[in-house]
Amino acid sequence: MSPPRVLILQPIHKAGTDALAEAGIEFVNAPDARRETLLALIGEADGLIVRTTGYRIDAEVMDRAPRLRVIGRHGVGVDHIDVRAAHDRGIVVVNTPEANSQGVAEYTVGLMLSLRRRLIDADRAVRTGKWTQRERLVGGELFGHTLGIIGLGRIGSRVGRIAKAGFQMRVLYFDIVRKHEEERALGVEFASFDEVVSQADILTLHTPLTPLTRNMMNARTIARMKPGACLVNASRGEVVEFDALVAALRSGQVSGAGLDVFPEEPPDAAHPILSLPNVVVSPHMASHSGESMVRMSLVAEDVVRVLSGKQPRNPVAPEAAA
């Protein structure tokens, strides 16, 4: 009897492939992550490991995979996986809920600092021989200002801890579930969504993509932001209505935005948001610390458990389907 086979759609850290090999499981790295490639290869896979959200793992994919028993999400968000369809077909979905929290939290604070202290502008000034721009590149501190967090989960709570302990910021948060323990431990304050949006000097988003959060920051909610506030998003691009954000950045209602995610990835190079000088962007890499990449690759260990007939440590419930 041949060993189980796992299809890996995008390269993962060697720690993950070592875990598969040590368990005697074959693995195949797809040559690319196009849907056509996935559909061509999935039929011989007992397990699937996926990374980015640029494609859907939906019923069509699963129906092409009669042997598929487990889908491993290298990361946390499962909005691109039809978890309900997987559950209905007896396919287990697993993820790595703790793996990238610290990396994304640190990156979020990095975006905050880049915006407030104008680090990207300063870098460009030196590289283009415009040293005297230092006189006008005057930013603002984080110290003592108000941070608003939408979503106080694993990442949001770590951002709050860093902001409170490191910069003595006032931290307001909104979450659909109030987090009394985190309030006591971190010194953060619960407030309504509108209160957080309207009082924050920096607003950072840490929510999953769901029907409730899609376009959560739109023309109406962005207009409620404190004039001159900054917006940071390292969650999902679709939680922000980009046309409304562009308008607010141009008008000065929002003074700057730090964006690691986009509604379409990669974004169109001609999208107006990429031409705005008060925007810092990155290619969906907030979780890409070396440490996080190792931890996320170890979703392979749960894939091994399922293929070995054992219970996974981090199963995703059907209710997580977007």
Active site residue 117: no
Active site residue 284: yes
Active site residue 250: no
Looking at residue 2, the DSSP 8-state letter turns out to be: P
Q: How far apart are CA 75 and CA 61, in angstroms?
A: 20
Contacts 24+ apart (CB under 8 A), 286-289: 286/100, 286/103, 286/104, 286/107, 286/108, 286/234, 286/260, 287/75, 287/99, 287/100, 287/103, 287/104, 287/107, 288/103, 289/100, 289/102, 289/103, 289/106, 289/107
| CA-based radius of gyration for the chain | 21
Most distant CA atoms of the chain, gap in Å: 72
Cis preceding linkage at 263, omega within 30: no
Which listed residue (74, 118, 284, 305) is catalytic? 284
Which listed residue (73, 206, 236, 295) is catalytic? 236
Which listed residue (22, 264, 265, 291) is catalytic? 265
In this structure, what are the phi and psi dihedrals at residue 133, rounded to the nearest 5 degrees? Answer: -65, -15
Neighbours of 161 (CB within 10 A): 17
Contacts 24+ apart (CB under 8 A), 39-43: 39/64, 41/7, 42/7, 42/68, 43/67
At 142, is the secondary structure helix, strand, or coil?
A: coil
State the catalytic residues.
236, 265, 284
